Amino acid sequence: MRKIQEVLRLHWGQGLSKRKVAASCSISRPSVDDYLLRATAAGLSWPLPDALSDTQLERLLFPTAPTLTAPERGLPDWGEIHQELKGKGVTLQLLWLEYRERYPNGYQYSWYCDHYREWRGKCDLVMRQDHRAGEKLFVDYAGHTVEVVDQRSGEVRTAQIFVAVMGASNYTFAEATWSQALPDWIGSHRRAFEFMGGVPELVIPDNLKSGVTKAHRYEPDLNPTYLEMASHYGVTIIPARVRRPKDKAKAEGGVLLVERWILAALRHQNFFTLSELNHAISQLLLRLNARPFKKLPGSRQSMFQQLDAPVLSMLPVQPYTYAEWKKVRVHIDYHVEVDRHYYSVPHALVKQQLDARITSDTVECLHKGERVASHPRSHLKGRHTTVREHMPESHRQYGDWSPERFISWAEKMGPSTATVITAALSERRHPQQSYRTCLGILRLGKSYSEERLEAACQRAMKLGTHRYKSIESILKNGLDRIALPEQQELALPDDHDNIRGPAYYH
């Protein structure tokens, strides 16, 4: 109190400025302001009354705050505050300001924060994570499987259980699929989004091989199909870190609940189809989401409608069409192989590596992210789908030719010529690659006559060759007029694997 009296004396009695008073008393200038304001509010002036003791002065300057009961102060509902904090942009300070508006005599901000953290520390570990409304969807497979019996054969198959959990509300989706392979993995995501009625900002999967091609702590490699699905729905994929169970605590908690409240409840039932199993799961899923929380107000369903549903992004007009991706190399005949069928691409891309996007109906080829070819998908093995514009100019002139046309032309010259042409067409993997050879052989008939060409082809067959240069050499040297000894005959076999025969092209 002596220092406060000195402040009053120097300022009121001596007329010193507040800055000089602060320097003289070795205190801050705001402290000087505070003391002077408190003295003025208490109705004091200088000199102070002689009968005023230090104790009385302290009571005048620092009166005791009125004692209020907890109801008068307004004890916050920490469970409600915890749920409010999951809303976008909601902070603890904002909630405290709203609390003080309702209770002007309420607790201070520091007390408010300390007691909230103390309450949160008593809750489950999973609940300590902060999840914003509509932000994260955790996905994983349950460790338990369900048996499905084929009524006709009696075969028993095991169904996998896919689980998806919203981070803020714990709203849960579950379904059965035959496998954890990529088609089922992508299909379960699509049905989970439809179940939620919208799309979250992030999807947090475990490092399942169907979704994550190569696990890495900082830059995991995602499956191209998974990335394309994420792009279609406008969602970001952030895999959980390897050996970091807290990253996917929501998923593990959701899996545990599904195993306890759904799979355990179905343990005595027999299922004969996957749809029958999924119908039973969907009924129990409604009950699970409607069950009240133990430590928080409401249920998963009510929290989802309050927190997540209003901020989820809209579903796209068309659901994602499943597509697989494959690295393909362009062959020298400007075709790529997909499932043993061959599709053409622009000839300038020969020997380049492309990305093939394969759906049930189409095959698209992309070079550095740009589509360069698109074809209807064909399931005919060993056949070709060729677009004329993809061919080089030198090949287009043969675009109107076909194996049938070459064989028909050769048959007019004779059976030996037809046999040689058929062998030339069968020699290459693609008949188009033999068109130039066939044209060269048949045009020899114009230079030397069709009769001599037939004789030359007959001699070539006995020698076991059907090369253009061999036949041309026979004609140039007049060997077509000389018969070969019988022991030198080497006729082409009719049942060789690489010879299709004339009937193949009809």
Distance CA 249, CA 166 (A): 12
Distance CA 10, CA 36 (A): 11
pLDDT higher than 60, residue 60? yes
**Do both 210 and 270 map to the same domain?**
yes
Least confident range from 67-71, 290-294, 295-299: namely 67-71
**Do both 488 and 409 map to the same domain?**
yes
Which string of DSSP letters, residue by residue, matches 53-101?
Answer: -HHHHHHHHSPPPPP--HHHH----HHHHHHHTTSTT--HHHHHHHHHH
pLDDT higher than 80, residue 67? no
**Residue 319 resides in a domain:** no
Residue that terminates a domain, selected from 367, 396, 425: 396
Structural domain of residue 369, as residue ranges? Answer: 324-396
Least confident range from 93-102, 214-223, 257-266: namely 214-223
Q: What is the pLDDT of residue 280?
A: 92
Q: pLDDT tens-digit profile of 208-227?
A: 655 455 443 434 456 788 88
pLDDT higher than 90, residue 365? yes
- Buried-exposed string 446-471: b where 16+ CB fall within 10 A, e elsewhere: eebeeebbbbbbbbbbbbebbbbebb
Crossing angle, helix 182-196 and helix 224-233, to 10 degrees?
20
**Do both 392 and 425 map to the same domain?**
no
- What is the token pair recorded at 34? 């505070």
Q: What is the pLDDT of residue 24?
A: 80
Q: What is the pLDDT of residue 121?
A: 74
Number of structural domains found in the chain: 5
- What is the token pair recorded at 322? 């499943």
Q: What is the pLDDT of residue 278?
A: 92
Q: How confident is the model at residue 15 (pLDDT cuts 50, 70, 90)?
A: confident
| CB-based contact 8:35 (threshold 8 Å) | yes
**Do both 221 and 173 map to the same domain?**
yes
**Residue 33 resides in a domain:** yes
Q: What is the pLDDT of residue 216?
A: 39
Least confident range from 23-27, 79-83, 442-446, 499-503: namely 499-503
Q: pLDDT tens-digit profile of 220-248?
A: 456 788 888 888 898 888 877 554 545 45
Q: What is the pLDDT of residue 10?
A: 81
**Do both 202 and 303 map to the same domain?**
yes
**Do both 151 and 194 map to the same domain?**
yes
Distance CA 239, CA 251 (A): 12
**Residue 190 resides in a domain:** yes
Q: Which residue has the higher pLDDT, 49 or 373?
A: 373
According to DSSP, the β-strands at 156-166 and 136-141 are antiparallel
Q: What is the pLDDT of residue 209?
A: 56
Residue that terminates a domain, selected from 344, 373, 396: 396
Residue that terminates a domain, selected from 366, 396, 426: 396
**Do both 88 and 52 map to the same domain?**
no
Q: Which residue has the higher pLDDT, 49 or 319?
A: 319
Q: Which residue has the higher pLDDT, 128 or 192?
A: 192
**Residue 484 resides in a domain:** yes
The verdict on pTM exceeding 0.75 is no
**Do both 222 and 283 map to the same domain?**
yes
Q: How many CB atoms lie within 10 A of CB 115?
A: 14
**Do both 144 and 269 map to the same domain?**
yes
**Do both 103 and 185 map to the same domain?**
no
**Do both 446 and 488 map to the same domain?**
yes
Closest by Cα among 354, 389, 348 to 370: 354
Q: What share of the chain in percent tops pLDDT 70?
A: 83
**Residue 67 resides in a domain:** no
**Do both 289 and 161 map to the same domain?**
yes
Q: What is the pLDDT of residue 354?
A: 92
**Residue 130 resides in a domain:** no
pLDDT higher than 70, residue 69? no
Q: Which residue has the higher pLDDT, 22 or 67?
A: 22
**Residue 70 resides in a domain:** no
Least confident range from 133-142, 147-156, 228-237, 400-409: namely 400-409
